[in-house]
Chain A
Amino acid sequence: MRILGGWIALTPELDVKLLLGRHVWDCAQHADLWGRRLPELRAPAQESEPASDRVVRVLDVLERFEGRDQSVERVTAVYRVLKPHLATVYRRHLAVANPVYEPPTRRILERCIEEEWRHASAGAAVLARHLAGAGMAERAEACERRVLAALAEARGVTGDVEEPLVDATASAPDPAAVAQDLVEVPPPFDPGVAPADLGERLRAHVAALARGDLEAAERHVLPEARTAVRQEYARLQGPWTQAAVAGVARIGRYRVTRLRLDGAGQAVVQERWVPGDDGWMIAAAEVARLQPGG
């Protein structure tokens, strides 16, 4: 619950952000149910402690997936490993929980099993959208192996779980139930939202930046802004293999664009365009993000 909550701000993708946002409250309720059950079993209420230092290390492994570009790892670690593992542990506990004198525990287990599998299914649906990129599926698999290995070393979250740590035989939850966890996010950005004449100039401008032709790119800049913009462009370290308009916002008649340049590294340039006698011209530019190549 805490890690999911902390990750929301660090996650750029809207669908992943909202997936985490959907589940923090469910996880909190699970923790609350267990915390309230504890005093009924002669333990202090709402007090938890890890089964061992190795269990702490499992969560440390998860917490390290905090980079802007590690959403695949975040979703994999929680939704492909941790939640199915929790559901597995709960199910085994339910199988041995006495139906005559342990109904309070059984009810909590039943709810948690159902919701953990529902979460895992929603996570799988979101993850599938992000595995199409080059190397993404391999990254997810590597992450899965890493978290599973840490869990195996800890012998599961309770420190005494027998292999397999994730029971893959669970039945798939009702798709209608899973749907409540999936927010329909808008389609990818369409550069066609820019006014037609700006769109034409933007294409030429992006192409000039992509091939490193800063002289051509500067021809789209208002004379009075050229010195400042040139300083920003000087920060761009190509070469770039791909360039695209990633966003267009409007402020009255002005437009602010976000251009993404990809190569060994990545750069994002934000520019403000104003309409005038010479068509759309750049009045200001800044490098909003610069990620060096590997």
Chain B
Amino acid sequence: MDRPIAYDKLAREDRFIRMRARDIAALKVEQGLPPFPDLADRDAIRDRVHGILVGELQAMEGAGRTVYDFPDAPWEFTLDMARQVWDESRHVETYLGLLEHLGGYVGEFPESTILWRCACAEDAAARVAGVNRGLEGLACDVFNQLVHIARKIGDPIIERSVDYVLADEITHVRMGSRWLNELTRGDPERRRRAIEFQETIDERFNLNGTRLDGAHEAVPISIAHEARKLAGFTDEEIARLVKSTQRSQVY
């Protein structure tokens, strides 16, 4: 097996429709829809939940690759990544159940592989910075907001399930922070590159103004200050993220 594998080796059943994220967004805008599903109604929540489901699948696949791709990394790093594989497999199970709860089906919305591509960084430090801090940080934002909306619309199944998953994501961010520090100890250049990679991902996943600092009901994706603090992000890092959302990026 190659280390790492090419992006396009990611295997799916044919019921999954794979498309570029920018093409999906453009086709939505063409129809007068928001480029990223908001949480305005049950249909939009289903679209969001489907997006999270495929994100969890890609997170499981990415963590699995990290277990395989870095045989010379510290053993405890591998152990953490193996734990993450198991967590993500349980998250997939959770979101399969939530999709069914919402009356959806697997493959109902297209899948983009933008998360998976981020999980293919060649350096282990960049991978944990990008995936565990960048993407799992995004997951903290998305899940925290979903818990809030579910509570508001009176759906305890979504509220409780997603809250459990959020707890795991906070743990994964902590793992990322730990390994970013340990893998780059004594190598400031490697650390700089890894953090730069994470910031690129943060910017990309601001989703052209979709992630913003604001109330859960007022913005498409709200930044989860408290969850991020629990996960170990500093006030300065959160402030930097908020600032980055004010810049526009189209992808």
Binding site for B on A (CB under 8 A): 1-14, 17-18, 20-22, 24-29, 32, 35, 46, 63, 66, 68, 183-186, 188-190, 193, 246-254, 256-258, 260, 268, 270, 272, 288
Is A35 in contact with B75, judged by CB distance below 8 angstroms? yes
Q: List 16 additional A-B contacts (Cβ < 8 Å) besides A6-B1, A189-B15, A247-B17.
A: A2-B68, A2-B78, A6-B67, A9-B11, A10-B11, A12-B13, A21-B60, A24-B67, A25-B85, A28-B82, A29-B82, A68-B11, A251-B24, A251-B27, A257-B17, A270-B17
**Contact of B96 with A186 in the complex, beta carbons under 8 Å:** yes
Q: In the bound complex, what is the Cα–Cα distance between A134 and B92 (angstroms)?
A: 30
Question: How far in angstroms is the closest Cβ of chain B from A161?
Answer: 25
Shortest Cβ gap from B129 to chain A (Å): 20
The chain A residue sitting closest to B69, CB to CB, is A6
Subset of 9 A-B contacts with CB under 8 Å: A1-B82, A6-B65, A10-B1, A14-B106, A21-B85, A46-B75, A183-B92, A184-B96, A251-B110
A7 CA to B64 CA, complexed, in Å: 8
Which chain B residues border A251 with CB–CB below 8 Å? 24, 27-28, 31, 109-110
B31 A252 Cβ-Cβ under 8 A: yes
- Quick one: given A10-B9, A186-B100, A247-B14, are A2 and B28 in contact (CB under 8 Å)? no
State in angstroms the CA–CA spacing of A83 and B88 once bound together: 23
Which residues of chain B have C-beta atoms less than 8 A from A28's C-beta? 67, 78-79, 82-83
Q: Are B79 and A32 in contact (CB under 8 A)?
A: yes
Which residues of B have CB within 8 Å of A186? Answer: 96, 100, 105-106
Min CB gap B212→A, angstroms:
23
Q: Is B11 a contact partner of A12 (Cβ separation < 8 A)?
A: yes
B67 and A2 within 8 A (CB): yes
Q: Which residues of A contact B100 (CB under 8 A)?
A: 186
Distance from A103 Cβ to chain B, minimum over Cβ atoms (Å): 24
The smallest C-beta distance from A50 to any residue of chain B, in angstroms, reads: 13
**Chain A residue with Cβ nearest B31:** A252
Give CA–CA (A186, B106) in the complex, Å.
7
A6 touches B17 (CB 8 A): no
A-B pairs, 10 with minimum CB distance: A6-B68, A21-B89, A5-B67, A28-B82, A25-B86, A246-B14, A5-B64, A8-B64, A9-B61, A249-B17
Chain B residue nearest in CB terms to A248:
B107
Among B10, B85, B105: residue with most chain A CB under 10 A: B85
Q: Which residues of A contact B64 (CB under 8 A)?
A: 4-9, 20-21, 24
**A256: chain B residues within 8 A (beta carbon):** 17, 19, 110
Inter-subunit contact A5/B105 (CB<8 Å): no
Alpha-carbon separation in the docked complex, A290 to B57 (Å): 24
Find the B residue at minimum CB distance from A23. Answer: B86
Q: Which residues of B contact A188 (CB under 8 A)?
A: 15
Determine whether B215 belongs to the interface, using a CB cutoff of 8 Å to chain A.
no
Question: In the assembly, what is the distance between CA of A251 and CA of B11, in Å?
Answer: 22
Q: Which residues of chain A are near B62, meaning CB under 8 Å? A: 9
Given contacts A9-B9, A32-B79, A270-B17, contact A21 B67 (CB under 8 A): no
Bound CA–CA A13/B15 (angstroms)? 10
Indicate if B12 sits at the interface (CB-CB under 8 A). Answer: yes
Which residue of B28, B65, B82, B89 contacts A252 across the interface (Cβ within 8 Å)? B28
Find out whether the CB atom of B65 lies under 8 angstroms from the CB atom of A9: yes
B1 touches A66 (CB 8 A): yes
In the complex, B217 has a CB within 8 A of chain A = no
Q: State whether B5 touches A12 (Cβ < 8 A).
A: no
Question: Whole-angstrom distance from the CB of B60 to the nearest CB of chain A?
Answer: 5
* Complex Cα–Cα for A35 and B225 (A): 39
Decide yes or no whether B243 CB sits under 8 A from chain A: no
Residues of chain B in range 63-104 having any CB-CB distance to chain A below 8 Å: 63-69, 71, 75, 78-79, 81-83, 85-86, 88-89, 92-93, 96, 100
Interchain CA distance A249-B78 in the complex, whole Å: 36
Most buried by B among A249, A256, A270: A249
Cross-chain contact A14 with B13 (CB below 8 angstroms): yes
**Chain B residue nearest to A186 in the complex (CB):** B106
Contacts of B107 in A (CB 8 A): 189, 247-249
CB distance from A51 to the nearest CB of B (A): 18
Name the residue on A nearest B86 (C-beta).
A25
Beta-carbon nearest neighbor of B82 in chain A:
A28
Q: Across the interface, name the chain A residue whose C-beta is closest to B9.
A: A10
Task: Please name the residue on chain B nearest to A71 by beta carbon.
Answer: B11
User: Does B157 interact with chain A (Cβ within 8 Å)?
Assistant: no
Tell me whether B108 is interfacial, beta carbon within 8 Å.
yes
- From residue A9, how far is it (CB to closest CB) to chain B in Å? 4
